[in-house]
Amino acid sequence: MLSGKRWLPAAAYTIMIAVLVGLAAAGCGPKGENQQAAKEIVVYAAASTTEVIEEVGKVFTAQTGVKVGFEFGSSGFLARKIESGAPTDVFISADERWIKYADEKNLLDHDHLILFARSSLVCIVPAGSQNTPASPQELAGLERISVGDPAHVPAGKYANEALSYYNLWDSLLGQGKIVLTMDVRAAMSYVEQGVVQAGIVYSTDASLSDKVKVAFTFSDESHSPITYHAGIVSRTANKAEAIEFINFLGSEKFHQLIVSRGFKTP
Amino acid sequence: MQNQEISAILLSLLMGVCAVILTIVPGVALAWLLSRRKFPGKTLVETVVFLPLVIPPVVTGYFLIKVFSQQKLLGSLLAELGIRVIFSWTGMAIAAAVMGLPLLVRTVRSAFDNVNPKLEAAARTLGCSPLRTFFAVTLPLSWPGIVAGSVLCFARALGDFGATAMVSAGTEGNRTISLEIFHHYQSPGHEAEVLRLAAISLILSALALIASEMLAASSKTARFGERQGG
């Protein structure tokens, strides 16, 4: 069967498959050795907390020597990843909904849940915009408004509540004016790029970019309270370090930090 | 199955059809040019046409957003005509077409390559104009390849994620199967929807691939008249 030069393709395929299997085997399996060398905790946090939590991470590492790895994204998506077994130690949600979801699924340690900050919801427009709505009702005059996907982005859920409060959600959605994004920072990015005329994000996000300006703030009564919660993932291998991290989020030093960034203390 | 899942399936099918409609004429023309003609800049044309095949789809989507941005000339011109490209079905269809075009061109070019040029030459000696030769000789002989290319283009457009995601409004009615899967995947507790849509997507793509392969095989027999080997 394998006569003449016919063995060449067969050999090539065999070598290729062997290499692929070898790579896959090398990729699988526990990290083992690395974890003994330097302790590291992983924090899954809401996208809107990117800057403050990275700051906390730096301080935490300086004080304890424990390194901190981050993943930032929509709180709902992070909860889902934790549910699927993602290797993480701390979960920070911009919504009580996702902390509760994780807690009910026994993914979090009941004893170490903390509400550590509050915020407010604003409508932003591109910095150079000539068409700035002064109130929610004036949003109807725009073409496209970016909002996080309410199904998993807390900012999107708050935006949905606020627009529904003013009886605007259904009509804006029906007219095709709503653009759903995968997290709140994507909603802001669209406004920065000018592909939408307005977006709904947190006041703390808006203050980070000079390419957007705040058009108006949604009144607190138009949406449920924007609360930031943190919890320890129950299957963490770094419980003590995670507890230290969470405790820092309740400290006076942290309160000063978040206030300086525009958040409100709990 | 919920309404949003059904609308995602229908939208995907619509995008597939739109991609074929938008690419068939320019695609066949390009394939013929690349197959039958040498010209300066041919390599550049080939590269540009096949680029969406290899660059990350999100990059293609990003370029589309920049090209059709309402702050730029093309976008504002279209806006005057009432055509919104970004965050509309129009934009999604264009993205789907751009992603499917290279596959169509490759397959149709291969089909044209398989048409014996001597047959075309014979037609010319019998008095056919180049245009008549194309429709009377080349096209019928390469027909299965053209259909195969269209089916591949359809399948690619159907399954696209990166480029479509950039220009989609993301709301119900604006999500293709891929986008719907991603939406449900990001939302905890929506496993069933993800599985259902993934299965449907697999089946649709497999059917398209099988159809395309069968047609491509029958286009090879056009050159030899009978199957070779045994």
- Residue of B87, B89, B193 for testing the chain A interface, max A β-carbons within 10 Å: B87
Reported CATH class of domain A121-217:
alpha beta
Residues in A closer than 8 angstroms to B181, CB to CB, are none
- Residue A181 contacts B, CB cutoff 8 Å: yes
Helix (H) or strand (E) holding A99: helix A96-104
Asked whether residue A232 carries a pLDDT value surpassing 60, the answer given is yes
pLDDT of residue A122: 97
A121-126/A212-217 β-pairing: antiparallel
Residues in B closer than 8 angstroms to A77, CB to CB, are 186-187
Question: Residue A43 forms beta bridges with which residues?
Answer: A70, A90
Domains A38-118+227-260 and A121-217 share a fold: yes
How much is the pTM?
A: 0.85
**Residue position matching structure tokens 């496993």:** B191
Rounded (10°) angle between helices A252-260 and A50-64: 150
Asked whether residue B84 carries a pLDDT value surpassing 90, the answer given is no
User: What is the domain partition of chain B in residue ranges?
Assistant: 3-220
Q: Are B93 and B19 in contact (CB under 8 A)?
A: yes
User: What is the domain partition of chain A in residue ranges?
Assistant: 38-118+227-260, 121-217
- Residue of B63, B66, B71, B186 for testing the chain A interface, max A β-carbons within 10 Å: B186
| Mean pLDDT, all residues of chain B | 90
Asked whether residue A229 carries a pLDDT value surpassing 70, the answer given is yes
Contact (CB<8Å) A152/B186: yes
pLDDT of residue B227: 47
Instruction: Give CA separation, B135 vs A186, B80, B122, B151, B221, in Å.
Output: 50, 39, 14, 21, 19
Asked whether residue A161 carries a pLDDT value surpassing 80, the answer given is yes
- Residue A98 contacts B, CB cutoff 8 Å: yes
Let me know if domain B3-220 sits in CATH 1.10.3720.10. Answer: yes
* pLDDT, tens only, B171-221: 999 999 999 999 999 998 899 999 999 999 999 988 888 887 887 777 666
Calculate how close chain B gets to A174, using CA atoms only, in Å.
10
A121-126/A198-202 β-pairing: antiparallel
Reported CATH class of domain A38-118+227-260:
alpha beta
For residue B68, what is the nearest residue in chain A, using CA coordinates? A195
Contact (CB<8Å) A196/B87: yes
Q: What is the mean pLDDT of residues B138-160?
A: 92
- Residue B116 contacts A, CB cutoff 8 Å: no
